[in-house]
Structure 1
Amino acid sequence: MNGFLRTTLLLAAMTALFVAVGGALGGRGGMVLAFGIACATNLFAWWGSDRMVLRLHNAQPVGPQEAPELYAMTARLAQRAGLPMPALYLIHEDQPNAFATGRNPENAAVAVNTGLLARMPPEEVEGVLAHELAHIRNRDTLIMTVTACLAGAIGMLAQFGFLFGGLRGREERGPGPVASLLLMILAPLAAMVVQMAISRAREYEADRTGAEISGNPLGLAQALRRLEQGRGAFLNHAAEANPATAHLFIINPLAGLRMDNLFSTHPSTENRVAALLQLAGQTAAPPRRGGSVPPSGQGPWRQNRGPWG
């Protein structure tokens, strides 16, 4: 099943869950009120979330003067993807990682950790940038906003089920108290599972689209493996302080999350690598030079001032 179809089915499941829970707990009146409040909250967050997230991670804007090679690589990939050039930012974190944000392709930004540029060869950096541009092209920020809106409405109905139930019309009959209590406990849990599944589906789709943009699935596969090593070796301090932003990164930046489970925002790295190898028609990735993640500035591609200015 391709990523678009999987996401569509999961969004349909989330919508059906909202309708079922809303009708049972709040009736039509409560459902409309909860949906309106949740949408207004998430619309506000979607409109200004890019600036807020960049501030939380102390991201510094860079242009062709500060990072000429990085800027040129991003511009080339954006042109290949049919996208306007996004704003570029650097985050001073040793952990190799990156994320994209912005409400649409015209207002998008790509933020790259300095650890990624210090520890990865250009072909792997290109794979990471292509993945982030794929998120922008696929409008994943909008998809996740819609998902968050539905999940938030379900959670709101569950929290205030009895209050919203008072908005039920005379012809509407609600569930009994035991069924209502079970719905109030289980509905947010089910919404969270579907929301995480949609997030994982978008990561797989961004991997596939990013491999097409870069033309090098194996480069992205190697990058994901190196990023996973780096995640275990270096703490991402800003992400640890702001865990709600973890889902934005190409690899989950938080320490300790290693399983592809129901509550993970990211698929397991090995599953993603396997999908890219299959896309490339390979059964195994070529051996990597150096094996492990090198210290800053000590990779074989770092000579004198390095390729990133």
Structure 2
Amino acid sequence: MRTRFRPDRQLTARMLVTMFLLGLVYVAFIAALVVLVDSVVVVVLIAAGVLAAQWWFSDRIALFAMRARIVTPEQEPRLHALVDRLCATANMPKPRVAVADTELPNAFATGRSTTRAVLCVTTGLTRRLETEELEGVLAHELSHIAHRDVVVMTVASFLGVLAGLIARFAFYSSLVGGGRRGGRDSGQVFLMILLVMAVSVAVYAISFLLIRALSRYRELAADRAGAMLTGQPSALASALTKVSGDMRIIPTRDLRAAEAFNAFFFAPALGSGVSLSSLLSTHPTLQKRLDQLASLSAQL
């Protein structure tokens, strides 16, 4: 179904380039592991298993991790009314709506397709935002679904997860089975561990940088598309300012618990101050997002 969200050719091009580069890294990664690890079958099974789990269960995993629940129109009439109106305006299928009972003010979309998508908001977000501000956030998340970049990010993040799993598997299997390897001395086993770890770290670093670069652009694209759909960039800018400001008063423990979902959040779960994590953030700076919305307001 063709939605009324404007096609974003730059976003599409960046997603294709990122997936192509990640694919090249993935092929090189598997080739290196086939050479370094004894069992090719184990490598293939792990790769296929992780990808299948991320593809089929990404929505359930995200909802479980955030302790979110699917809600009905009777349970959340305000939320459903906004989503209904936005989906009708955008001419797109309505995603399932979920709520996470947490003070962290945020929202995210997940799911392997537009028909399996879930749009989740936190109670901390709905309590803080006015109706027009909440509508802007929901339009932002619906843009992610319409442009299918939720699916792209889910698949793209697979490589980093796989690299971590392979590194752990190689380390522990060598540690446990090292004494049984009659044909190799301890030096060879240790060298194999180092090689597998080095390849995994390199792959993780490359995928990390590529995904972060794509993620920052997709957030700007979603801001732009969401603001154009509602016709109120100032409302989205107000929501961004509120959420980013209130993020500083959320306990550090809660921010760290939610940090793994930053690539999917409306605003990153980061405290105040500039650090390496903010410089390599999944999101552009607040000022950059506000500047873009101000420019859209002037155009409209």
* TM-score class, shorter: 0.7 to 0.9
Q: Report what 1:272 is aligned to.
A: 289
Q: Report what 2:113 is aligned to.
A: 104
Contact 1:26 1:157 in 2 (8 A): no
Alignment of 1:221-300 (within 5 A): 221-235=237-251, 240-256=256-272, 258=274, 261=278, 263-281=280-298
Could you report, residue by residue, the CA deviation over 1:81-102 in whole angstroms, capped at 9, with x for unpaired residues?
2222222222222332111222
Q: CA deviation at 1:3?
A: 2.1
**AA in 1 matched with 2:217:** A
Alignment of 1:162-181 (within 5 A): none
Instruction: Name the CA distance, whole Å, in 2 between partners of 1:214 and 1:80.
Output: 9
RMSD: 3.5
Q: In terms of mean alpha carbon deviation, does 47-56 or 25-34 score higher?
A: 25-34
**AA in 1 matched with 2:225:** T
* Residues 1:46 and 1:262: Cα distance change in structure 2 (over 3 Å): farther
Instruction: Name the CA distance, whole Å, in 2 between partners of 1:17 and 1:239.
Output: 31
Q: Which runs of 5+ in 1 are unaligned?
A: 164-176, 283-309
Contact 1:42 1:145 in 2 (8 A): no
Contact 2:55 2:154 in 1 (8 A): yes
**AA in 2 matched with 1:269:** L
Does the alignment pair 1:193 with 2:209?
yes
Does the alignment pair 1:66 with 2:66?
no
SS of the residue 1:14 aligns to: helix
Could you report, residue by residue, the CA deviation over 1:106-129 in whole angstroms, capped at 9, with x for unpaired residues?
122222222222222211111000
Q: CA deviation at 1:130?
A: 0.3
Instruction: Name the CA distance, whole Å, in 2 between partners of 1:240 and 1:152.
Output: 18
**AA in 2 matched with 1:196:** R
SS of the residue 1:105 aligns to: coil
Instruction: Name the CA distance, whole Å, in 2 between partners of 1:181 and 1:50.
Output: 30
* Residues 1:257 and 1:89: Cα distance change in structure 2 (over 3 Å): farther
* Structure number having the greater helix percentage: 2
Q: Percent identity?
A: 33
Return the match for 2:47 from 26, 38, 55. Answer: 38
Relative to the length of structure 2, the TM-score reads 0.74
Return the match for 2:144 from 106, 117, 135. Answer: 135
Instruction: Name the CA distance, whole Å, in 2 between partners of 1:242 and 1:118.
Output: 19
Q: In terms of mean alpha carbon deviation, does 28-37 or 142-151 score higher?
A: 28-37
**AA in 2 matched with 1:94:** E
Instruction: Name the CA distance, whole Å, in 2 between partners of 1:280 and 1:32.
Output: 56
Contact 1:93 1:114 in 2 (8 A): yes
**AA in 1 matched with 2:99:** L
Q: In terms of mean alpha carbon deviation, does 20-29 or 43-52 score higher?
A: 20-29
Relative to the length of structure 1, the TM-score reads 0.72
SS of the residue 1:253 aligns to: coil
Q: Which runs of 5+ in 2 are unaligned?
A: 1-8, 175-191
**AA in 2 matched with 1:121:** E
Contact 2:54 2:155 in 1 (8 A): no
Higher relative contact order (CA 8 A, sep 6+): 1
Q: CA deviation at 1:140?
A: 2.3
**AA in 1 matched with 2:62:** V
Return the match for 1:216 from 218, 221, 232. Answer: 232
**Number of equivalent positions:** 270
* Residues 1:58 and 1:155: Cα distance change in structure 2 (over 3 Å): closer
Contact 2:163 2:200 in 1 (8 A): no
